[in-house]
Amino acid sequence: MKALNNIFKRAADAPKRVVLAEGEDPRILEAATVATERGIAQITVLGDDAKIRALAAENNLNLDGITLLDPASSPELARYADALYQKRKAKGMTEAQAAEQVKNPLIYAQVMVQLDDADGSVAGAVYTTGDVVRSAIQIIGMAPSASMISSFFLMMLCEPFHELK
């Protein structure tokens, strides 16, 4: 627990803009509310606004301070689609494909990071690790000095996340 509390403290000292692509999952909404309440990140949750609000109400979660954004109706849709197209056209992506794919919350989240509209994205509760890593590599890319990709997850078996102090 000490290691995780150290991570929380460091995050609270310099909160970053984090986008969560799986906003229609109650676990993600709970994590978003806890992170916001603790001041460890500025959270944007992606998904259908009405579904997210209903899920939050059903689970007694406070969405104050959390930005909700539906990629399918975002005012940034055209800009994000163009950024995705520019990034992937050499691999055969068409403008129409980019316009459709950017409506996917996972893709939208990665474009947000690529365009510096978010500092990072978190996914993997609903999407597979392969989907998350593949989209990050294709859209954000690897640092020129990186030669390897890695991912990780934390399992806490002792206490629920919301009970950590």
Tens digits of pLDDT across the chain (165 residues): 677 888 889 999 999 999 999 999 999 999 999 999 999 999 999 999 999 999 999 999 999 999 999 999 999 999 999 999 999 999 999 999 999 999 999 999 999 999 999 999 999 999 999 999 999 999 999 989 998 888 777 666 666 555 554
The first and second tokens of residue 31, run together, are: 């994590």
Single pTM value for the model: 0.89
* Structure-token match 């934390």, residue found: 154
Task: Give all domains of the chain, ordered by start, each with its CATH number.
Answer: 2-75+103-161 (3.40.50.10950)
Smallest CA-to-CA distance from 20 within 48, 44, 54 is with: 44
